[in-house]
Amino acid sequence: MRVGQERPFTKCEPLLTLVSEAASHPLPFPLMSKAAEKNQWIVRRSSIHQRGVFAACDIPKDRPIIEYVGEKITKAESTRRGLALEEKAKKTGGAAVYIFTLNQRYDLDGATAANPARLINHSCNPNCESFIIRGHIWIYSLRDIKAGEELSFNYGFDLETWEDHPCRCGESCCVGYILDKQYWPKLRRILKTKAARQEKIATLEKRVVALKKQLRKK
């Protein structure tokens, strides 16, 4: 599973939000220097998952906050690394996803200490979003952000492996899983069907127990 989504969608290829728009997206601000960028955020423990990135000062809407940097890799290499990372994460409870969709041919593996943006957690009600601008992935503020708020964006995962990625963002609108918003209605239908099925099974189990009791009495 990679962060982000490209368009058009293809199976197994979760794509990067706003990629096509980003190609022609005018920058609301010029790209900031690393030094300026650094003053805006700090890394701390997060209530969502292990470490997170937090606003170090008030950040206005539409501000480039941090670049997501890493190693440019092919899709095949990305799939290999992604699967290996997921296997490791299942065993350790660590993070599974540091690979970001760059375009239809390449991804960016951000699993490096030189990339603090890798520590930004997902939220169902994010205050940031990602843009690809001239081959660079930038995390922008979606709204005004107060100093101390945890930075987050929607990872844009597809429905393929939703059960593997429970969401603990804690937002009132949380859909329960790390998922692109476009899939929320479908996921809600899936969850409703699943809950109804579980309820039916529980009712049937109770009936079986009652029936066994009756038979024992006879």
Ligand X SMILES: C[S@@+](CC[C@H](N)C(=O)[O-])C[C@H]1O[C@@H](n2cnc3c(N)ncnc32)[C@H](O)[C@@H]1O
**Where along the sequence are the contacts to ligand X (CB under 6 A)?**
46, 48-52, 95-98, 118-119, 121-123, 167-169, 178
In the complex, minimum distance from the CB of residue 57 to Zn ion, in angstroms, rounded to a whole number: 26
Nearest to 70 by CA among 38, 118, 129, 19: 118
Distance CA 108, CA 19 (A): 14
In the complex, minimum distance from the CB of residue 18 to ligand X, in angstroms, rounded to a whole number: 18
Amino acid at 157: F
- Which does residue 174 touch among ligand X, Zn ion, none (CB within 5 to 8 A, set by kind)? Zn ion
Strand 51-55 vs strand 128-133: parallel, antiparallel, or unpaired? Answer: unpaired
Q: Which is nearer to ligand X, 52 or 64 (CB)?
A: 52
Q: What are 50's two structure tokens?
A: 């292990």
In the complex, minimum distance from the CB of residue 47 to Zn ion, in angstroms, rounded to a whole number: 12
- Which does residue 52 touch among Zn ion, ligand X, none (CB within 5 to 8 A, set by kind)? ligand X
Other Cβ atoms less than 10 A from the Cβ of 85: the count is 19
Q: What length is written for the chain? A: 218
Q: Residue 167, interface with Zn ion (CB under 5 A)?
A: yes
Site residues, Zn ion (CB under 5 A): 124, 167, 169, 174
